[in-house]
Structure 1
């Protein structure tokens, strides 16, 4: 595992991340928004480092991201973000308005539970030879794009009466942390035609103009391949 330290504090937060992981991307945004220094510890999924004995002690499920805060370890992007929200209240990631908060939860759930799981077949096609034998080279990509487009269509309708500069108004909240990485993946990895989604395209422009988002993109991470920069 590679390490990219952002300060010398031995008690600082440690984020186990993979550069192109959208789940890790969400957490990086949260950390940036809250102004928290952290040590970046790269876990190379292509080399199966997530299954190493060292990493398995942190997260037996074998997924990133994982956050280490002193003696406490928490995995899963939503769990990490909510932990950060509770412990580090600066720059709240949830609105005070209960209904607006509900919209944020709904968007986050659509991305993490409806869209993202259906992108896994593309990963399997790359990683598992047996899967490649059963699924052609383009079927899994088409399946992922279909899932993304279906989810994006729902989110466009959901946010129609709630969006401002960002997903649910003029401040960044939880929904934005989930949307920005998903839109980035849709555009750069799955080649989704974003002209179908004018509202999301407008949000993406706002994210690209916001330093906390811009500095967390996959290509700017310490473990990103040179060609991705």
Structure 2
């Protein structure tokens, strides 16, 4: 997925980027609450002249891309718990997960992103928070499941699985990492083990024009390709 930085200016209306220094200790997960909005639209909303809210976030992710809207060493107003030194607003990186399009792909992108951020900081999934944990708001709402928060547990499990993969990858000898080329174009890396190459199913399938979906409950990857 594409990761790009498109920072809102300091001085953006309603104090959305106050520029307060932040040394984050957690990562907070949100849903956008808008079933038809993309990452680009959410970024645009932060500087939309009709937006009168004092609310902002660091990163937004959808099925196609990740946009960093506020530097991760500055605070944003996303946790709903005020401006105290120990508040989520002042200590946590806020990540918005879009609800539009292929939500399964968006969730997978979000899990990949979060696992990367945790690994980079030497953190575990115990550093993850819901918006709900700071202010009691039912968010991320698509993980709520009537109060059971089943979706939240599944998301944390998906992040942990990707963390495990990253640890395993870091232990693989460089001479067993192989390039995977589809129709003359490199699409990903694989690992050679015992004469068998293991590679991410999504990268190869999508390079061949197939659609990939993930069912977290049954832990099933489904690859579908329509006949031409």
TM normalised by structure 2 equals 0.32
**More helix, by proportion:** 1
Structure number with greater CO (CA < 8 Å, separation at least 6) is: 1
Q: Normalising by the residue count of structure 1, what TM-score does the alignment of the two structures yield? A: 0.32
